[in-house]
């Protein structure tokens, strides 16, 4: 069953799964070649809330002779959750920290960038990323009149979303990344909330942006049986070429990855290390994925195996799950087993949420002792 619209259908015939997979890859393209360091160990936490916290984590890895290829930052580093900004108080000296770990330890640094650009009035907050987007006319429009900038709500609350169908969207995105890189010399990027997520609203956030005849009301059937606008951009939002969000929604993350990949390739002239939450067929030509917010449980550790393999079959070769789990507290045994498994992920990153107990390897040195062996010895 389909909701309508236009679709291209492909049929693959082969004698075995390998032949079918190869035929599929001939359509979607060759996977992106990532830098070698992307295969190393990555450390992150939503809750490393200062530059000092990042320094302490790196120091612990170094003093413990533990492998660490890349230090990451979640949304903590941003100024009021605004993309392409740095908190001037809590993350003062972030650029120097990055330079230091790059030169002293040959480590890399990856920050998160969300899809929603904070929507701020110039009179109250002279926010360059939003102002430049308005000037270039690169934000998705509301379905109420097709001219007003669509307003969603994410971590920064009111937010506008780059429209990858807009003529100047790629140039705008590249300019923002160049300016951000001048502040913090990152080596890769983590693209999150790019379904695109509208987590504080269902469709439209403000009544004056609602379409007079919502398209969802006319669909012959609702995939999954749930509200398609739940935590998502309005299906009536309009792109630059007249395409409704209804028809473009699944492409959003992949188009964002594509434009980000182009910046790395053309401006930085580097292999691309992009980790995305959302993807579509062919995204593996431009970037890689992690499996999203998981739970600290044996079941989710098991799910990660088929999750990584499924991504590989789909042409995304660098994939992985949050090691030890993202939601809820882990245990020494679970985390130790997950470290063992996670070392075999193509993309290996320990990551958990701000309200959880820490799960860096040294946290469990007393809990995970068998004679003189500790979890750090196992790693």
CA dist., res. 71 & res. 201, Å (int): 32
Tokens 């991504």 belong to 311
Q: Under a CB-based contact definition with an 8 Å cutoff, are residues 301 and 338 in contact?
A: yes
- Secondary structure letter of residue 274 according to DSSP: E
Angle at 115 between CA 356 and CA 315, to 5 degrees: 85
Letter string b/e over residues 107-127, b meaning 16 or more CB atoms within 10 A of that residue's CB: bbbbbbbbbbbbbbeeeeeeb
Q: Is 56 a known active-site residue?
A: no
Beta pairing, strands 322-323 & 348-350:
parallel
Nearest to 176 by CA among 270, 240, 113, 239: 113
Count other Cβ atoms within 10 Å, centred on residue 72: 25
Q: Under a CB-based contact definition with an 8 Å cutoff, are residues 319 and 307 in contact?
A: yes
CA dist., res. 278 & res. 323, Å (int): 19
Helix axes 169-183, 252-263, angle to 10 degrees: 60
Catalytic residue among 83, 195, 229, 256: 195
Tokens 């079959």 belong to 313
Burial of 372 (0-12, 13-18, 19+ CB in 10 A): exposed
For residue 22, what are its two tokens?
């190869």
The rounded radius of gyration (Å) of the Cα atoms in the chain is: 21
Q: Is 195 a known active-site residue?
A: yes
Catalytic residue among 192, 245, 322, 360: 192
Q: Under a CB-based contact definition with an 8 Å cutoff, are residues 20 and 12 in contact?
A: yes
Nearest to 52 by CA among 91, 96, 109, 102: 91
For residue 154, what are its two tokens?
């994410």
Burial of 140 (0-12, 13-18, 19+ CB in 10 A): buried
Name the residues annotated as catalytic: 192, 195
């Amino acid at each position: 069953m389909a909701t309508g619209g236009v679709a291209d259908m492909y049929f693959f015939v082969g004698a075995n799964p390998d032949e079918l997979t190869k035929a599929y890859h001939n359509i979607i393209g060759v996977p992106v070649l990532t830098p070698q360091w992307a295969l190393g160990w990555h450390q992150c936490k939503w809750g490393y809330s200062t530059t000092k916290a990042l320094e302490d984590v790196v120091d612990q890895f170094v003093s413990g002779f533990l492998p660490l290829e890349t230090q990451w930052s979640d949304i903590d580093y941003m100024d009021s959750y605004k993309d392409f900004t740095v908190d001037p108080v809590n993350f003062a000296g972030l650029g120097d920290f990055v330079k230091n770990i790059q030169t002293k330890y040959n480590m890399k640094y990856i920050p998160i960038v969300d899809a929603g650009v904070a929507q701020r009035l110039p009179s109250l907050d002279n926010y360059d990323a939003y102002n430049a987007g308005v000037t270039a006319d690169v934000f998705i429009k509301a379905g109420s009149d097709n001219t007003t900038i669509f307003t969603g709500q994410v971590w920064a609350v009111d937010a506008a979303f780059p429209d990858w169908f807009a003529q100047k969207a790629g140039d705008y995105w590249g300019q923002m990344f160049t300016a951000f890189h001048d502040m913090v010399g990152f080596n890769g990027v983590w693209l999150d909330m790019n379904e695109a997520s509208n987590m504080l609203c269902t469709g439209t956030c403000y009544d004056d942006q609602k379409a007079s005849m919502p398209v969802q009301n006319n669909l012959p059937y609702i995939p999954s049986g749930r509200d398609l606008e739940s935590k998502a951009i309005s299906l009536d939002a309009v792109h630059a070429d007249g395409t409704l969000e209804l028809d473009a929604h699944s492409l959003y993350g992949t188009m964002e990855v594509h434009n980000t990949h182009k910046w790395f390739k053309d401006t930085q002239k580097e292999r691309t290390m992009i980790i995305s939450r959302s993807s579509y067929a062919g995204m593996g030509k431009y970037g890689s994925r992690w499996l999203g917010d998981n739970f600290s449980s044996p079941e989710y550790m098991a799910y990660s195996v088929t999750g990584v393999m499924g991504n590989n079959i789909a042409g995304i070769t660098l994939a992985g799950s949050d090691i030890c789990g993202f939601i809820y507290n882990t245990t020494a045994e679970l985390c130790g087993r997950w470290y063992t498994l996670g070392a075999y992920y193509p993309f290996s990153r320990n990551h958990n949420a701000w309200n959880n107990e820490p799960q860096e390897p040294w946290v469990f040195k007393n809990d995970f002792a068998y004679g003189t062996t500790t979890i750090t010895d196992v790693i």
